[in-house]
Amino acid sequence: MSIERISPREAQQRLRQGAFLIDVREPHEHAGGHAQGAALVPKASLLAEPARHLPAGGAQALLICQSGARSLEAAQMLRTAGFAQVASIDGGTSGWMAEGLPMVVPEQDAHTRDFNERYARHLLLPQVGQAGQRRLRASRVLLVGAGGLGSPAAFYLAAAGVGTLRIADDDVVERSNLQRQILHAEARVSMPKVASAAVALQALNPGVCVEAVPERVTAGNVDRLLDGIDVVVDGADNFATRYVLNDACVRLGKPLVYGAVQRFEGQASVFDAGRHRGQLPCYRCLFPAPPPPELAPDCAQAGVLGVLPGLVGMIQASEAIKLLLGIGEPLSGRLLHVDALTMRFHEMRLAADPACPVCAPGAVSEQPSTNGADQVRAG
């Protein structure tokens, strides 16, 4: 037997006749208001204890959500569980409002309203929800480089609501950057990149704290830059920085989200050996020695497709968010390679090097060195 679907006006008439209205949306969705007379019971709670929330005495329960999809699904599940007197309201709360039917709009301060509206799509995800979004807000990420990789990573981390973004880069915006470094704009050419990044990110999400550090990461400042940081995103453009950063992350137990691009190819991984010595690799396990300089030209010499850093940088942002929330399967122990010309992704398993001088059990990484290099560089 199919579920009865009724209009908002029909629902209001039935309420006058003794029906019972249940709003199955999540609490944050009530910021914009809810139908007058509705009991606010999230879908999961209703399905977990239907007898507690459904009306007694045979009265009909009318379920409402935002548009009608979730309420219909909930009604179908209740019917399957043996509760026959249920119906779903087509159009949901949006339809109720469009019909001009009475609403209850709760009072909220500006901060709460911004939180509920800005992160509404995150709050719907069971893996995030209010607790996860607050966790993101309390998180601190170090972005090394505000260039080709740092630009998309920074934008999406700020949009996701990561509370503090510390951005380290000693370069200034050049016109040649604008082909791929989307944090920057024509009007900010010659401005320090970290200052330009702060302008763009604050415009996107004023609630994010941007700590602009106009410095290149070195052995002398890396510990200070990593202080209080939860996750590191590597968008460096030189080999020395990558090794200093890797060694410090291992020593201090910080997860490092790696990315690199050149011409039409890029790669990404997560190096978390500091928290998992002997189980997961570090950057030096993958690249223990540098190739000759002629085999590893930078983007200024070899060129790079402008959209490629966007692809890899967004992967890095996704990995960082997963690490901050403790969800999903990170790229730890895996190297993801992307070929933009063929749009093919390949994955290679990575193992910890038992002889690694930095991350092997018992190894001591005291002073970062610059011995080693990767095969592709940041843009």
Range of the domain at 98: 4-107
Instruction: Please check whether residue 95 lies inside any domain of the structure.
Output: yes
Q: Name the phi and psi angles at 31, rounded to 5.
A: -55, -35
Return the SS3 of 362: coil
What's the rounded Cα separation, in Å, for the pair 71 and 64? 5
What's the rounded Cα separation, in Å, for the pair 47 and 51? 9
- Cα dihedral 124, 255, 225, 184, rounded to 10, equals -50
What's the rounded Cα separation, in Å, for the pair 46 and 315? 36
144 and 99 both lie in a single domain: no
In this prediction the pTM is 0.80
Instruction: Please check whether residue 174 lies inside any domain of the structure.
Output: yes
* Number of domains composing the chain: 2
Amino acid identity for residue 64 in this structure: I
Among candidate residues 303, 311, 283, 268, the one with its CA nearest the CA of residue 379: 303
Instruction: Please check whether residue 371 lies inside any domain of the structure.
Output: no
What's the rounded Cα separation, in Å, for the pair 253 and 272? 8
What is the enclosing helix (H) or strand (E) of 257?
Answer: strand 256-262
Q: Is 299 a catalytic residue?
A: yes
Instruction: Please check whether residue 126 lies inside any domain of the structure.
Output: no
86 and 176 both lie in a single domain: no
Instruction: Please check whether residue 373 lies inside any domain of the structure.
Output: no
Instruction: Please check whether residue 102 lies inside any domain of the structure.
Output: yes
Q: pLDDT truncated to tens, each residue of the chain (379 aa)?
A: 689 999 999 999 999 999 999 999 988 888 789 999 999 999 999 999 999 999 887 789 999 999 999 999 999 999 999 998 999 999 999 999 999 999 998 887 888 889 988 999 999 898 999 999 999 999 999 999 999 999 999 999 999 999 999 999 999 999 999 999 999 999 999 999 999 999 999 999 999 999 999 999 999 999 999 999 999 999 998 888 999 999 999 999 999 999 999 999 999 999 999 999 999 999 999 988 766 666 666 677 778 999 999 999 999 999 999 999 999 999 999 999 999 999 999 999 999 999 999 999 877 654 444 444 344 444 5
The catalytic residue among 65, 249, 282, 299 is: 299
308 and 175 both lie in a single domain: yes
Burial class (CB in 10 A: 0-12, 13-18, 19+), 171: middle
